Structure 1
Amino acid sequence: MIDSLLSTENKMFRDEVRRFANREIAPHVKTWEKEGKYPDSYYKKISEMGFMGLLVPEEYGGEGGSMIDLAILCEEMGRVGVSIPLTHVSACCRSIEHLGNEDQKKRYLPDMASGKKIGAYCQTEPNAGSDAGNMSSFAEEKENHYLLNGEKVFISNGKIASVLIVLAKTKIVSEKPSKGIAMFIVDSDTSGVSIGRSEKMMGRNCSSLDEIIFKDVKVPKENLLIPAGGKGFKEIMKEFNSERCGNSSFCVGFAQGAYERTLKYCKERIQFGKPIAQFQGINWTLAEMAIKIQSARLLVYDALFKEKKGKMIAKEASMAKKNANEMAIWVCDQAVQLHGAYGYSTEYEVERYYRDVRGWSMGGGTTQVCLNRIAYELLK
């Protein structure tokens, strides 16, 4: 079904990513998991493949890819059990491309597209997760700069990022706090920027989630991306649609990878004189896994093809994410169960798929926030 929707170029890109993932990534995943990080060679490889600048226009050194290409990339990399710096590829690069002026694009996008500089999207705070309006980071306007103070947490790739896309208030709007939020580009080597603790997570051990502290950071006025007020916050939130579609595609990929390993195991595992895949209780579960994966994939592509036609996809992206998050957790849980005790062992990898996929339902808007957004779109 998906093949009938994809262009020849989309299919060629998918095949290219799959070959790369199987050849260059899959053999090393266990080692990287033990080491607890992606090596520099990983970022070098995905940069050389053009993945870091996938959504950056060609005129700024990128690939000029589409959201469909992003979904393909995320699914194929998730399938072998790794992630890419999604917030760099989507939220950071797209924020500068869509919201930045020509000077900002020329100064930042070429190095971000090449992988020379990695971006981190800095929104979450200790007391402002889903409730962005409750953030306390504040950028006080001065004559030639903004003076930024605040603390961000759970920031993907924070400690390796060179470019920080930072959300902070520039004014207090008591009746609607989000109206006071602006967006800035901050170079990580600016005086006053420091990295705090790195969170130790249940899964996704190769990716860092870091605390970033801003203390009297002078941000040049030319680095203001979106001022507070007007439609500013709405424009900022639009970029979540790309991250939600990428997040959903990762979940589809992780589920697909766990499913393929489970299908192979069930065909080979002999109990009571025959492969366990021949038992109805097992093969029905395998069938349900396949149905749920394909259903989630179709919801993602429904959002993507509407986005391609220029439609606003807040509802569709939220539907895709909520469904894919919960589907992937269920599929990976079943993968562990069908492996029996081996599923709980690190030897067969499905336990890692389960641990890694569990966190995707928190990033880019929780499943509950997605339900809120869906309901809002339905009722407005």
Structure 2
Amino acid sequence: MLFETDDHQRLRQQVRDFAEGEVTPHVARLESSAAVDTILPTLIAEQGWIGVTIPREYGGMAAGHLAKTIIIEELSRVSGAAGAIAQASQLGVAKILHFGTEQQKQQWLPRIAAGTCLPTIATTEAGSGGHVLGMQATAQRDGDHYILNGSKKFVGNSHVGHVHGVIVRTGGADTRPSKSLSAFLVEADRPGIRLVEHQPAMGLHGFSFGDIEFNDVAVPAANRLGNEGDGLHVAYSSSVLYGRPNLTAVSLGIHQAALDSTVAFVKERRRYGAPLADLPTIQHKVGLMHHRLITARQTAYHAVHLLDRGDPCDGKLMSSKYGNVEAAMDSVRTAMEVHAAAGLRTDRPLERYYRDAACIYAPAGTGDIQLLRLAETALGDDRGQWSERLAHLTALAPQAPHSATSTATREHAA
């Protein structure tokens, strides 16, 4: 692949070996129970991969966004839930890297990189969805603390996270809308936090994508990320620079798995005295899936390669999320057409890929949201690029060698 280095290829093999050896044995259990899994989050975090974009001075890998994409993709190829677990906490890293004080970075990033802390980001509400400014959760200043009230939905790693990055309303009716929100680091064990009972989704079984309630939760003012009024920036920058490429990577892994399983199926299943793979109609469908995957991967890797260079690339990140999700959903449908009734059976993984792919559409913005933002960029109505403002925090040094393997990963490989 054009943008991959030898380090990236070694990392890919290490993650693939881990996924096939350590994740695969859990897939059947996750699918049968659909309960929140606590084993895989720990196993994945222990590899050091949540810290893939964290600078070395905080114990991270400093390997960049392409390395992050490869990690999520390879985990998702075996289990969409495993990829979702990894991407959700890597998304939680963004808010601290982008807006954390030096004290906050020293407090949280080494623990995240070491795998002892899983961060989340909690933005979405039932009444606002992708309209972040429509949220109703609040934080009222009370001396050296803020008192948080409200609820958040669809929080990735909600039931296994250790610290939640919560976006709430701090401004009153007379506050400019863009300055009405603030962000806080809220430890999961603070009094007043309630995890709503896990509701299994149609796919990504084992991944907690749940709801959290905050009832008079006292949070020190020192836990605020950035200034009061920076909450919208925290939410948007995290979503654009981490959320979109992370979910793109999950789609890539599912897409690859769907192609792999379809190729194996058409080679083994026979019709008219020959493998299905000999039929031109089947070859056409397999070729179409392969074309979609090649195009999707090139789009995804190019976008995060630009992000690693520190180049402006917001539009490419949004386009990549839109294109990859659509391509993966199209390809799993094509794979279902090839498998026919066999694809509906739970003894084959395709029906899982079908369900998992559908779960990637809404997070970090539906396809309609991506197209709306892309239209704003094309029309010159966007308000600047987050990659231009913040990519330098994780950008790789030009032409400088970097290691895309963590200490934990190397130990595992050994």
**Aligned residue type for 2:192:** G
**In the TM superposition, what is the alpha-carbon distance from 1:144 to its structure 2 partner?**
0.8
Q: Aligned runs of 1:69-84 on 2, under 5 Å?
A: 69-82=67-80, 83-84=82-83
Q: CA deviation at 1:27?
A: 3.4
The one-letter code matched in structure 2 to 1:116 is T
* Map of 1:61 onto structure 2: 59
* 8 Å CA contact retained: 1:156, 1:209: yes
Query: Structure 1, residues 266-313: CA drift from partner, whole Å, max 9, x if none?
Result: 011101111111111110000000000110111111211211221232
| Cα pair 2:244 2:317 within 8 Å, conserved | yes
2:137–2:169: 8 Å Cα contact kept in structure 1? yes
Letter of the structure 2 residue corresponding to residue 51 of structure 1:
W
SS in structure 2 opposite 1:65?
A: coil
- 1:88/1:266 Cα in 2 relative to 1: closer, same or farther (>3 Å)? closer
Query: For the residues of structure 1 that align with 2:210 and 2:194, how far apart are their CA atoms?
Result: 11
Could you say which residue in structure 1 is the equivalent of 2:138? 138
Alpha-carbon distance, 1:145 to partner: 0.9
CA contact (8 A) 1:244 1:364 kept: yes
Alignment-derived partner of residue 300 in structure 2: 300
Are the aligned partners of 2:167 and 2:235 in contact in 1 as well (CA < 8 Å)? no
Greater alpha carbon shift after TM alignment, 153-162 vs 257-266 = 153-162
Are the equivalent residues in 1 in contact too, given 2:95–2:234 (CA < 8 A)?
Answer: no
User: Which piece of structure 1 moves more, 48-57 or 319-328?
Assistant: 48-57
User: Using a 3 Å threshold, how does the CA distance of structure 1 residues 346 and 174 change in structure 2: closer, same or farther?
Assistant: farther
Q: More deviation in 362-371 or 195-204?
A: 195-204
Q: What SS is found at the alignment partner of 2:250?
A: helix
Between the aligned partners of 1:144 and 1:282, the Cα distance in structure 2 is 66
Question: 1:183 is paired with a residue of what secondary structure?
Answer: strand
Instruction: Verify the 8 A CA contact 2:54 2:113 in the aligned structure 1.
Output: yes
Which amino acid is 2:236 matched to? M
1:46-57 to 2 correspondences below 5 Å: 46-57=44-55
Q: Secondary structure at the match of 1:216?
A: strand
- Please name the residue that 2:339 is paired with: 339
- Relative distance call for 1:379 and 1:228 in structure 2 (3 A) is farther
What is the letter of the counterpart of residue 361 of structure 1? Y
Output the amino acid matched with 1:10. H
Could you tell me which residue of structure 2 aligns to residue 15 of structure 1? 13
Give me the CA root mean square deviation. 1.7
Structure 2 counterparts to residues 180-329 of structure 1, below 5 A: 180-229=180-229, 233-240=232-239, 241-329=241-329
Q: Which runs of 5+ in 1 are unaligned?
A: none
Q: Which of 1 and 2 has higher RCO (CA within 8 Å, sep 6+)?
A: 2
- Which digits, 9 at most, give the CA deviation of each residue in 1:56-90, with x for residues without a partner? 22222222221001110111111112333245433
TM-score, structure 1 normalization: 0.94
Distance 2:201 2:176 in 1: 34
SS in 1 for 2:218: strand
Residue 172 of structure 1 aligns to a residue whose secondary structure is coil
**Partner residue of 2:370?**
370
Q: CA deviation at 1:174?
A: 6.0
Matched, 1:100 2:90: no
d(CA) in 1 for partners of 2:317, 2:86: 15
The answer to whether the 8 Å contact 2:162/2:188 transfers is yes
**Counterpart Cα distance in 2 of 1:104 and 1:166:** 15
Residue of structure 1 in register with 2:357 after alignment = 357
What is the DSSP-based 3-state SS (H/G/I as helix, E as strand, rest coil) of the residue aligned with 1:346?
A: coil
Kindly state the Cα deviation for residue 369 of structure 1 after the two structures are TM-superposed: 0.5
SS at match of 2:49: coil
Q: Structure 1 residues 88, 205: CA separation in 2 closer, same or farther (over 3 Å shift)?
A: closer
Which range moves more in the overlay, 190-199 or 254-263?
A: 190-199
Query: Structure 2: how far apart are the matches of 1:57 and 1:289?
Result: 37
For residues 207 and 94 of structure 1, what CA distance do their matches in structure 2 show?
Answer: 20
Letter in 2 for 1:144: D
Q: Give how far 1:102 is off.
A: 1.2
User: Are residues 56 and 296 of structure 1, via their aligned partners in 2, closer, same or farther at CA, if it must alter by over 3 Å?
Assistant: same
Q: CA–CA distance in 2 between the matches of 1:285 and 1:174? A: 57
SS of the equivalent of 1:73 reads helix
Answer yes or no: is 1:29 the counterpart of 2:27.
Answer: yes
- Length, aligned pairs only: 377
Please state how far the C-alpha of 1:166 moved relative to its aligned partner: 0.2
Per-residue CA shift, 1:115-147, capped at 9, x if unaligned?
A: 222222100111111100000011111221111
Counterpart pick for 2:3 among 5, 11, 28: 5
**Residues 325-377 of structure 1: CA deviation (Å, up to 9, x unaligned):** 11111111111221121100011110001101101010111111000111111
- AA in 2 matched with 1:44: T
Q: More deviation in 40-49 or 164-173?
A: 40-49
Stretches of structure 2 that go unaligned for 5 or more consecutive residues are 381-414
Q: 1:339 to 1:20 in 2, by over 3 A?
A: same
Displacement after TM superposition at 1:195 (Å): 1.0
What do residues 183-230 of structure 1 show as CA deviations (whole Å, max 9, x unaligned)? 10001111111112322311111111221111111110100002344x
Q: Percent identity?
A: 29
Segments ≥4 residues shifted beyond 4 Å: 173-176
CA distance in 2, matches of 1:322, 1:173: 35
After TM superposition, the score normalised by the length of structure 2 is 0.87
